[in-house]
Amino acid sequence: MFDLGVYNNLWNIYVLFIGAFISLLISFFSENKYIHIAVGAIFSLIALIMTLFAGLYLRTSYITIASDSLIMSGYSSLLFAAILVPAIMSVLAMTRTPETNKPGLLVSIFLISLGFMGLAVSSYNLLFIFLAFEGVSIPTYVITAFGKNDSELEAAVKYFIIGAFSTGLIIFGISAYYISTGSLNLGTSPVFGNMYILAMGLLIFGFGFKLAIFPLHGWAIDTYTGASNAISSLLSTSSKIMTLAVMINIFLSSAYFFGYLKIIFAIIAIFTMTFGNLVAISQKNVKRMLAYSSVAQAGYLSTVFLVAGTGAIKLAMISIFMYALAYGLMKGGSFIGMNSLKNYDIDEFSGQWKKNPVFAVSFSILLLSLAGFPGTLGFIGKYFLFLSVLSTGTSLAYIVVIFAVLNSVLSFYYYGRVIMYMFWKKSDSVPAKNNSILTAAAILTVLFGIIYFLLYYYGSYMMVHLPSLIMGVI
């Protein structure tokens, strides 16, 4: 009765849509915020568990050009799991979002966006990718403005305008791709080379807006700063990881474009990480500093494209899983940690070590992990990612990794400044509220930083056979 043929492996996505329907149904009888948040968290957790266990069965799945335009392979299961972890944190943090009389609708839209994120990372056809991507974008426009205060409305408007512009570029890119290849399936050999290169360029710009790479990052700063902390966490983590996964599917299956791809993303990575870190140094608003830090992190993530068509691809994909998981925990936890404070000025952090030591230690751990301090998952993710890039053995790879390491060292300055304020600067600021999500994120960041080998072995097991498209096979 429920046999869906080749789409049976997508039940971890279907359960999110089922949860969205149930939350909407419950809203007819009750608008208790905690009930709906519990529904959202439970169904997100079920989807995560199904993703982790289903991936063990699907790890040997191959994606070919002729078929399987939509499949949850072991590879995509890992990235979807990295999306769901910070998403669960975000939905739990909604208990402190501005009051709304429609929490059922908020949670329902949230789960719908998560479901489409799963479809996006599992799609290997540009039409499927576009529809899933818009299925994510439109709900996130809505939930960004859900609190209806001035800052949220401003954030949503800026996000929508840039989103509409990037959608136009993506459509043009898809059109050019179809003209050049005669197909919308990824990995198709081009007939018209120049048109194919134009298509790839348009797609880089279109998806680059959502990844917030330099110089397409402007919207992200105001949106992350203006949105509620739970939504900022979702947009800066789950949405960004999904965008990266989609870009990996598209560009690492485009062997004809590899020569240009490496040069373009080497430049993008260097400018993005350098700009993000340099501007973050001057920020006094910690939430805005975290927004610029997100831009810098996009630069680090972009280095993965330098392994295109090389033997380092499997190590790079395992590294991306580990770094995406670390990024979700440390960046999502940091934004959610803002809920503990009255305002986001750096002076508000002064003396928190004596007023709320659990908050101070937890927030410091996440900041150190973002900087890449040894013993944290952030360090492990960066280490393996940079190692995979260096494994290509090219001069370009060495140059990019040198810039990445220097930028990581530079980031210690502005992260360390916040830590210094918490531990050594005296102030009459109000003690931070307890935040269990922040604490849990910090514990997991350290725990996985210590037992990282389990994550590595799990990733290796799941990626015994990567999709042939991602391996650059045409």
Q: What pLDDT is recorded for position 384?
A: 92
- What phi and psi values does residue 283 have, to the nearest 5 degrees? -80, 130
Of residues 431 and 370, more confidently modeled: 370
Q: What pLDDT is recorded for position 172?
A: 92
Instruction: Indicate if the pLDDT at residue 59 is higher than 70.
Output: no
Where residue 96 falls among pLDDT bands split at 50, 70, 90? low
Where residue 254 falls among pLDDT bands split at 50, 70, 90? confident
pLDDT tens digits for range 200-212: 999 998 998 888 8
Mean pLDDT of the chain: 84
Instruction: Indicate if the pLDDT at residue 64 is higher than 50.
Output: no
CA distance 188 to 469: 9
Torsion angle of alpha carbons 239, 242, 247, 248, nearest 10°? 150
Residue ranges covered by each domain of the chain: 5-462
Taking CB atoms within 8 Å and a gap of at least 24, the contacts of 311-315 are 311/391, 312/388, 312/389, 312/391, 312/392, 313/252, 313/466, 313/470, 313/471, 313/472, 314/460, 314/463, 314/466, 315/384, 315/387, 315/388, 315/391
User: Which amino acid would we find at residue 354?
Assistant: K
| 305 close to 261: Cβ distance less than 8 angstroms | yes
CA 246 to chain centre: 11
Cα angle at 172 between 244 and 176, to 5 degrees?
A: 95
Of residues 314 and 444, more confidently modeled: 444
Of residues 60 and 80, more confidently modeled: 80
Q: What pLDDT is recorded for position 473?
A: 41
Instruction: Indicate if the pLDDT at residue 465 is higher than 60.
Output: no
